[in-house]
Amino acid sequence: MRLTNVLRCASRLPKDYANLPESYVKRSMAMVEWRTPNAPQYQRKVIQRTRFHYNMSRPWTDGFKSVNMPGIRRRRIYVEPIDWTVFRGDRVEVLVGRDKGKQGIVNYIVKERNWVVVEGLNCVRGSHRVSERREFSVPSEIKNRPCNLWSTLPVASQSENKPTKVEWRYTEEGKKVRVSVRTGRILPIPLMAEETMDYKSKQTYFEQPKDTKAKDLEKITYVPKLMTFAQDIMEEMGIKEDRIPAKTYWY
């Protein structure tokens, strides 16, 4: 039952929470119309979609693909480039709207739209379709809508319970930390920001039989050489080749 609930809510998981490789995310959201054959006489050219419409669905889900189906044109949304200082698990205070002055925990982030979802705030009541015969009624559902990042401020500490602006600074050891502008105190990144579907924190993760061991990753097994792949194999196998290859031409 727990696994079913996780799979049902997979489209609402943040990008980092899914713990998927960046190459897989790019490959799953790619919409290629045409590309050149994989042969040496062709230049690598690809005609694909470069502009996407982002919403609450993550790029590897069917909800994202249905919004970005071919033939659908949407208004381009310009997003302000900002340096993110808010993470999942931060307590923030809403500055605008009907929930102005209320505080909550950030549980979802969409960086492509500068959105943050504050748990229990900015909610709307969604309606469900009722059968035509009205034999039964479906209760309404409360949905959590996203807030713009500029409409929220992180709280400095639970003791002060006051919002503050945050900026990135470096310590004497060269470590990058979040610092409150009002108090000058360091704001630690919450543990919820490290939480993924595989583990609560990196320190508590146990290696599985199919995982690559950390010791194997630290070994240096590649030494660069000024030779081709074929020459490297010949050297390893002890094959000597003194013949001069004939010239080849491509037309």
User: What residues contact 28, with CB distance under 8 A and at least 6 apart?
Assistant: 59, 60
Residue 12 and residue 108 in contact, taking contact as beta carbons nearer than 8 Å:
yes
Q: How confident is the model at residue 8 (pLDDT cuts 50, 70, 90)?
A: very low
Continuous segment of H or E residues that includes residue 2: helix 2-8
pLDDT digits (tens, 9 = 90+) for 164-186: 888 899 999 999 999 888 888 88
Residue 156 and residue 146 in contact, taking contact as beta carbons nearer than 8 Å:
no
Mean pLDDT of the chain: 81
Residue 202 has pLDDT above 90, yes or no: no
- For the chain, which residues make up each domain, given as ranges? 1-77
Q: What is residue 139's predicted lDDT score, i.e. its pLDDT?
A: 62
User: What residues contact 181, with CB distance under 8 A and at least 6 apart?
Assistant: 164, 165, 166, 167
* Mean pLDDT of all residues in 61-82: 87
Q: Give me the half-sphere count of Cα atoms (radius 13 Å) on the Cβ side of residue 182.
A: 11
Residue 163 and residue 153 in contact, taking contact as beta carbons nearer than 8 Å:
yes
pLDDT digits (tens, 9 = 90+) for 23-44: 888 888 888 889 999 888 899 9
Residue 6 has pLDDT above 70, yes or no: no
Residue 121 has pLDDT above 90, yes or no: no
Tell me which of 14 and 162 has the higher pLDDT. 162
Residue type, 53: H
Residue 90 has pLDDT above 50, yes or no: yes
166 DSSP β-pair partners = 180
Size of the chain in residues: 251
51 DSSP β-pair partners = none
Q: What is the pTM of this model?
A: 0.70
- The residue ranges of DSSP E strands in the chain, in sequence order, are 32-35, 46-48, 91-94, 103-110, 115-118, 123-126, 141-144, 147-148, 152-154, 166-170, 176-180, 186-187
Residue 9 has pLDDT above 50, yes or no: no
Measure the CA dihedral 56/58/61/66, to 10°.
50
User: What residues contact 143, with CB distance under 8 A and at least 6 apart?
Assistant: 123, 124, 125, 126
* Mean pLDDT of all residues in 98-126: 86
